[in-house]
Chains A and B, each alone.
Chain A
């Protein structure tokens, strides 16, 4: 298991610079827009997506066959991908939260005339919301990569994001059209109370179902 994770991490080493650029970009964006909800979503999404590219490395080098000839079980192979996915999403969100706190502190120190109000609760909700989003994408993406391969899986990812946006836009359009008034304040108060718990629960359920589907596909796969 350790070897499998190390293999993926070494493959991802080339993303070090890109990640550094993302962090710089986010820092500037926080300072510029004074938005405290930005970094956790962006960083966890980017790291979460980068992790999925380990499938591309395996596919380009046709590594799957070789990996299965090593002392590992198919369960280990699938599980290692999910451990990496979950850990990277969490690290992304934590990194985003820490970065936001640091940048806001610095900004408040150097620009005491316009203090940014850092609401830790909403920062946390955003972080969990970001994690939920990327967990949803990964949970759909990983089984489809096991089923159809990384190349086709990538196309599906864009289709998926497009469909999600379309769905949200369509729903809001429909609600306005039929004159349905969403009580945003009650949703907000519900999310403020139970949001984090809800997100954590959904994230665990999504990853668990996704893992089971991936393992089922992979355990029957012939090379």
Chain B
């Protein structure tokens, strides 16, 4: 075996960590899942036993070393076990996005050549069966929830429970083989393969080794002092690298407990019941939670509203300081303590954050107001910046240096470099091995010295040493007059308004910027209700003149903000329209992780983009939409286009000429 890290001579694979946890934390909870209304619990010893049975079952089914095992479903302990069981027999788990369509799934299954697939329920089994018409690699299918599957042909379809039973029955025969396979796992063997959603092109299979995962988990756990006894809620897609690091890497390294919700719809309730100590959510989640809270507060009695807002305003001033350990007067501390009893404590408990020691958000920029709100309540919310290719962590914010506009300092073991072009490069023990079967992409992303291009443009702030991300490097362009164009920067500013769900800004190579806006149905719908505005559909609400007026106000405010930044003042929005449908991953407009696919949108709504720039006041359009079951339909609409006031528009242009 190649070199081992000295601190952890034995701990060079996830199964090895599992064995250690079963020895060291045996009777402590390893997994919980709410089922039939009760939290079911498995200790580390029990989990290890289930995983062993499943691994033996895999051997009985004929899983070979180096096979790929696809895992598809919502977060459930048994699916996590199937990933570790696959590793135990020397196979490589490939978690897939459960909401992927059959076509998307077909590509991935064919690309990795999976021989086995583990599915959560009938829906996923159906998709894999459909895929098999074109992809013939799958030999055996396992499923967890038997509902609706009774009548299916079971010659190659197996209930996971039965596979485990067979594994236990064959223990005598297969035990030796299992031990040998497990002992052969090396530090540089593949731990997991994760497909990146990719804003462009086909998904790529990112190969991460045991070294990548374990070194990263170790370093990041030390950074945030994670420990056995911590609790996480596993609710983000299993195919996403973050979930793998949090729910397997860090969970196994530290021996903490992974809790799985009863169903996706009960997530809020389950979060409240578990009250995790370590929590991750995308900015969108925090926004949603805040929107719901504010809407509920509107319905509260006048006194409660007054109390809530008074306490909150005070907390915004004092809360973050207390969190960061800055000096705060004794009187303020007392007042904060009272507020904590009356308001902050109950609110934290309601949103399931009463015990959060470490909370992270990443993936997109988060609105400063939202960020401040949670910190004011005493939630230690921080930002991190990461990628699948880095095993998540590139930079993260230390406990006492948290700010809304930076993404933190390099994580332990990570080196950063900013290229001439402004693109951020990094090198770390977590850097991926390769893109599976794609040496060209590997070479263009990772240079021979191990430096990886992030594809993001940013700079390191001199005063604090924190990294600030401006935009996707390839999206940062020049406008016709040569000034800098950073669409994401503007879009994020727009999206900070609760009424705006998504925004797409155009302007590269053109003389001015224009935007598509998606309204947020929850927030705007609530506003409409309060203002007695009747509407029958999303489309109707989106085209309402008062909604337009409101959005116009937001856009103008954003323009004023952008105008203050000299470098980016050219990015002010001159014209906008509100789209007649929500941008949707099913239509390919967003990635599965909800990132805007700019190029595709520009192409698909070519007529609308043209209308934005040719000065017309409205435009009739037809759009094809895909329903959840894959059928297609058309929606028709006439969209209004509005001109927006721009700050100091004329002078700089004149000067440039």
Is chain B a partner of chain A in the same complex? Answer: no
Chain B interface (Cβ within 8 Å of chain A)?
A: none
Chain A interface (Cβ within 8 Å of chain B)?
A: none
